[in-house]
Structures are given as structure tokens and as C-alpha cells.
Amino acid sequence: MKTSAPESLCITGVTLLSGAGIGDQVTSVLIQDGAIAAFGKQAEQATADRVLQAEGCYLSPGFVDLYCNLREPGNGQKGNIASETRAAAKGGFTTVCAAPDSSPINDTGAVTRLIQEVASERSPIRVLPLGATTRGLEGELLSDMAGLTAAGCVAFSNGSLGIRDARVLRRAMAYARTFGYTLMFQPNNRALAADGFAHDGLVTARLGLLGIPEIAETTAVMELLLLAEETGVRLHLSQISTARAVEMVAEAQARGVAVSADVAMHQLVFTEDALSGFDSRFHVIPPLRSENDRQGLLTGLRTGTVSAVVSQHQPHDPAAKRAPLGETAPGLSSVESVLSMGLMLVSDGELTLPELIRALTSGPAGVLGLGVGELRIGVGADLCVFDPAATWVANDTSLQSTGKHGPILGRPLPGVVRYTISQGSVAWQPT
């Protein structure tokens, strides 16, 4: 985050777009002192330091990613805060939550402060650290949640590992509830998931891959929901992958449990079929599931049961993906392709544009209680200006992330981000 006083900007020729809807006319937006200062004629008549012409583009609130691996601290092979936040900014994101499974793991205030210091120097966008719920993510001892919060953590996760021991889980929830902290957990029963790395279904039956059954997720969801209900903790289910989990969350919400959920964008676009050619890029955890699950997740997003879409960005060095499928590291380099995949869903009629934008802005912002996601005078200027008609091709050169294993490579993708504005400054524009 740069702290120098930003120049004033006037963005012209845009259509306003937010979770609430699409503006009915082309307008301009004036940004002064890091906030939206005026719209329309008033904006055009003001003298701005810089005019950004964006004819044909939408202007939406900047995207918020609840789960993004920035790989720093770490050895740098798989990326760092500078490379991955640049990638996120290119993807239209103005806020990313940094996953706690860095190396070392973010389970102390020192690591949290390190992340923030590096981000303040090298990130063009806002980085919000997620703390580890248990020390070393080992699921045994609680980390210093209050200390981590004081250092800047906005919520607590346990990475992709979850917490095996229900007693530890219950105590973590009770402790977090005491201070009003949000817990973000990926539901996964590790005994049932065992060594699996693909959805236990049609493709694993045919290719003989080790499966993760649907029940590994749903039993974990059930356990988390019951414990959350009992402890009263604010629970957010990260990256759910099954239709059944959506139904269970909806039921829990209906009876007043403080639970929300998100889904990774690639779960909305791809299914288990993506692995039918042993393509290691699509080795992701949770695994890509059936078409029925994909439909259930989309329904959950439309109804609001699932309030956010995340990137679950996991950049890797090429060697980590260059092996037989079962020996590769899980995860996609996805943060730059989230908007394009979402626009594909919109053009296929599976989501409306406001539904997509809501899931990328006000939805995730609401999970963390952040006051972003609206376009009105006075709010901080975290904005994304994108051209829905333009296309780009993801490849080794165009991808800003260190990870080159994007979900869709080598063919035109819809939607190009022209400007990402973070706190009133241009955080990304194509060179």
C-alpha cells in the first residue's frame, strides 16, 4: 500500500456496476483524496490531475478475495507478495486476504507484522492477513488469537488442513466467540479424505485416481455447523464444493446460525471431467466435483446462501505441477482469471452480472465487516474498471503471477481490467 497523497482522477465513459445492479447510463467518476468525490457532469467539470478514458468499460467496486496464497514469507520459488498482489491487481482485486499457510506459518504477531510491512512497501493493493487458528496449523494448540488480531489479522483459518480433533475445534470456536473473531474453515474430514486428490465419482472410477468422497466434506460441514451453533461463533465455510453442503448451510442460516460460505471460482466453471486427461493443473483441494454439485453451488450463489466467490489462488513453481497427477501440488494460479471465468458464467446465463459482482465485492466484504462494495460519494476509492468486450490470453508472458498454471490457457478470455484503483491510486493498468 502506497501512502503518498494520491493524485485526483477522473474516469470517463464508464457504466456503474455493483452488486445492487447496473447503471442505466454512461457516466464519469471523480476520485479525490482516495475517495469517490463526484459522478457525472460534476465529475467531468472538476479539474482532475489525470483523466482515465474508459469508454465501454464497467466501473465496479474493487474485488475482495477472502482466500489468496501470496507465498510470503516463503522461499520465493512459488511467488511473493509483490508478484502475487500485482497479479491480484491485474485481476481487479483491491483487497486480498493472505492465507495463513505461508512459511513460516502466520501463527504469531511477528509473522503478521512482517506480511503487512512487506505489503505496505510492495503491494499495490490492500493485504489482510488471516491468522492460523492453531499453532503451526497442527490442530492441537490454539494460537494467540488476540495477539494476532492486534497485529492485524482479520479472521482465523486453519488452511486446508482443518482441525481433526473435535474437542480442539469446539474450544477454538468458544475462544474465538469470546472476542467476536470470525473463523474461516475449509470443511474436510481428513479420515474420509485420506490420501485422495480427486472427486470420488465417475472420473476416479475410470482413471483409478484416489478419491475424496463428497461425504468427507458434508460430514465436516455438519460437525462445524453443530459446533458453531452451540458455541455461537461467527463461522465462515471456505471453498465448499458440494451441492449438499450448500443445502446444509441454507438450513443452518434459516435457523439463525451465524454462518456464511464461499466457493472458489473454478468450482463454478469446471467439474471432475477436467481431470479426465490427467491435467495436473486441475488437481485442487477440495476437488472439482460433479455437474450436479456445480449446479448446486451456482444456485447457492444466486440465492445468497453462498455469499462470496474466492480465487483460492495457489501459485506454484513449474516443477510442483510437472509430475504424475497424484504427486503434484494442489492448486491453480487463478487470481488473474477469476473475472474472466465469471464473465463466461454470465454469458452462459448461469449468473447475472450483478450476482457475479456481488459475490466479488459486497459479499466477501460483508463476511469481514469491511465497508467496501458500494459506489457512492465519500466511500474509499477501491475500484475496478474493466472492458467486458475485450479479450486476453493467459500464457507464461501475460500472467503476472509466478504460477503459470492458469485454469484456461492459450485461448481468448473475456474481460480485461483497464484500471484497478486502490485507495484512490492506480494499482494496475496494462502497459
Tell me how many residues contact other proteins (CB under 8 A).
37
Position among 235, 240, 320, 372 found at the interface with other proteins (CB under 8 A)? 320
**CB under 8 A: which stretch of 51-59, 114-122, 203-211, 302-310 binds other proteins?**
203-211
Number of H helices, E strands in the chain: 15, 17
Sequence-ordered list of residues with C-beta below 8 angstroms from that of 259, at least 6 positions apart, any chain: 225, 228, 235, 236, 237, 249, 252, 253
CB of 412 vs other proteins, minimal distance in Å? 15
User: Toward other proteins, which CB reaches closer, 141 or 205?
Assistant: 205
CA distances for 253 relative to 129, 141, 225, 389, angstroms: 27, 29, 10, 38
**Which of 39, 63, 93, 282 is the binder for other proteins (CB under 8 A)?**
282
Instruction: Rule CB under 8 A: choose which of 41, 140, 279, 369 binds other proteins.
Output: 279
- Count other Cβ atoms within 10 Å, centred on residue 342: 26
**Least Å distance between CB 73 and other proteins?**
22
CB 34 within 8 A of CB 6: yes
Q: Does 348 bind other proteins (CB under 8 A)?
A: yes
Asked whether position 338 contacts other proteins by CB under 8 A, the answer is no
In DSSP notation, 139-186 reads SSSB--HHHHHHHT--EEEBTBT----HHHHHHHHHHHHHHT-EEEE-
Residue with cell string 474509499 = 380
Q: Is 205 in the site for other proteins (CB under 8 A)?
A: yes
Q: Scan residues 249-278 and list those touching other proteins (CB under 8 A).
A: 269-271, 273-274, 276-278
**Contacts (Cβ under 8 Å, ≥6 apart) of 207:** 198, 275, 276, 278
Contact 298, 54 (CB under 8 A): no
Which residue in 17, 243, 257, 288 binds other proteins (CB under 8 A)?
Answer: 288
Shortest Cβ distance from residue 322 to other proteins (Å)? 5
The residue (of 134 and 280) whose beta carbon lies closer to other proteins is: 280
- DSSP-derived secondary structure letter, 313: B
Check binding of 185 to other proteins (CB under 8 A). Answer: no
Is the peptide bond preceding residue 286 cis, with omega within 30 degrees of 0? yes
Measured CA to CA, the distance from residue 42 to residue 334 in angstroms comes to 38
- Minimum gap (Å) between residue 275 Cβ and other proteins: 8
In the complex, what is the shortest distance from the CB of residue 192 to other proteins, in angstroms, rounded to a whole number?
12
Query: Under the criterion CB under 8 A, does residue 327 sit at the interface with other proteins?
Result: yes
Compare residues 39 and 282 and give the one whose CB is closer to other proteins: 282
> How many C-beta neighbours within 10 Å does residue 238 have?
30
Question: How far apart are the C-alpha atoms of 164 and 251, rounded to whole Å?
Answer: 24
Query: Which member of 68, 161, 209, 413 binds other proteins (CB under 8 A)?
Result: 209
3-state secondary structure of 217: helix
Does residue 322 touch other proteins according to CB under 8 A?
Answer: yes
- Of 128 and 268, CB closest to other proteins: 268
Rank residues 59 and 298 by Cβ distance to other proteins and give the closer one.
298
Q: Kindly list the residues in this chain that would bind other proteins in the complex (CB under 8 A).
A: 200-202, 204-211, 213, 269-271, 273-274, 276-280, 282, 288, 319-320, 322-328, 344-345, 348, 350
